[in-house]
Amino acid sequence: MKLVSLKLKGNIRLAQSGIDYFEWNPSADIQILLGTNGCGKSTVMGESSPLPAKPSDYEKGGYKIAVFEDKQTTYVFSSLFEGKPEHLFEVNGVNINTGKTITVQSTICRDNTIRIKRRNRKPCWYRAYITYTLVNKITTNFSIN
């Protein structure tokens, strides 16, 4: 499973760096994010998982949309914060989170064998994040501070 696209709008931590909208379309299997301290590298890595975004991390009208592909299947994980928060889990265009709640979204992720691993802390000059494991395939994203 490969991250194809990540769109973040109204993320509070990115806004502290002057970034209201962020779009990332990784083009290689291994990505290196470089930047100064406080520019949002850790935020981007944290949001690049299929887990739903927390409403407290977004301004009203903000959203997180993460698109993943695996073989012939496209997965779209959306967290929308316009009014009441809504969370969508789409598989090939069909939403399977009919409740649109964060609890249902998290449960669906677990039930579909997505295993989320949080930051693997290394010395401050090097951090490796294993963002997710799905169907025993590991995608690793790297961030160097």
pLDDT, tens digit (0-9, with 9 covering 90-100), for 116-137:
333 333 333 233 333 333 333 3
The residue extents of the domains of the chain are: 2-30+37-113
Would you call 67 helix, strand, or coil by DSSP? strand
Pairwise pLDDT comparison (144 vs 59), residue with the higher score: 59
Whole-model pTM: value is: 0.75
Residues 6 or more apart from 74 whose CB is under 8 A from it?
4, 67, 68, 90, 91, 92, 93
* CATH 3.30.200.20 given to domain 2-30+37-113: no
What is the pLDDT confidence band of residue 26, given thresholds at 50, 70 and 90?
A: confident
